[in-house]
């Protein structure tokens, strides 16, 4: 039996701080209550999804990049690494889309 695909959508249009970015991900991606709101915690939660059939959509990511370029870049890198996790294995079951200024790009 094929497992149903899970889609997570995080919208960064109202973020004002790096804490807002992490709280948006925590809420929209259903991370556990103990999520540490940092890049290490993000990585831990992402890798918990590695066996899932998952689509992740980050909307208005340009807002986060303008507000905190360093943290946003870390998030983007974590998503990119997640796509190629564990000995550079590529996971077709994981789809990640980043929207900036109304333009959507898939992380391949």
Give the pLDDT confidence score for residue 90 in this predicted structure.
60
Asked whether residue 56 is assigned to any structural domain, the reply reads yes
Q: DSSP states of 17-71 as a string?
A: SHHHHHHHHHHHTT--TT--SSHHHHHHHHHHTTTS-EEEEEETHHHHHHH-HHH
For the chain, which residues score pLDDT lower than 50? Answer: 1
- CATH number of the domain to which 93 belongs: 3.30.370.10
Number of domains forming the structure of the chain: 1
pTM: 0.86
Structure token digits, residue 58: 């980050």
Give the pLDDT confidence score for residue 5 in this predicted structure.
78
Which residue range(s) make up the domain with 84? 6-107
Give the pLDDT confidence score for residue 9 in this predicted structure.
96
Asked whether residue 1 is assigned to any structural domain, the reply reads no
């Amino acid at each position: 039996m094929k497992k149903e695909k899970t889609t997570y959508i995080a919208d960064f249009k109202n973020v004002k701080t790096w804490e807002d970015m992490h709280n948006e991900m925590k809420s929209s991606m259903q991370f556990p209550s103990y999520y540490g709101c940092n890049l290490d915690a993000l990585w831990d939660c992402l890798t918990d999804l590695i066996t899932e059939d998952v689509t992740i959509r980050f909307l208005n990511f340009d807002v986060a990049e303008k507000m905190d370029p360093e943290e946003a870049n870390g998030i983007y890198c974590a998503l990119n690494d997640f796509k190629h996790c564990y000995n550079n294995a590529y996971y077709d079951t994981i789809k990640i889309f980043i929207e900036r200024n109304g333009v959507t790009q898939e992380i391949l």
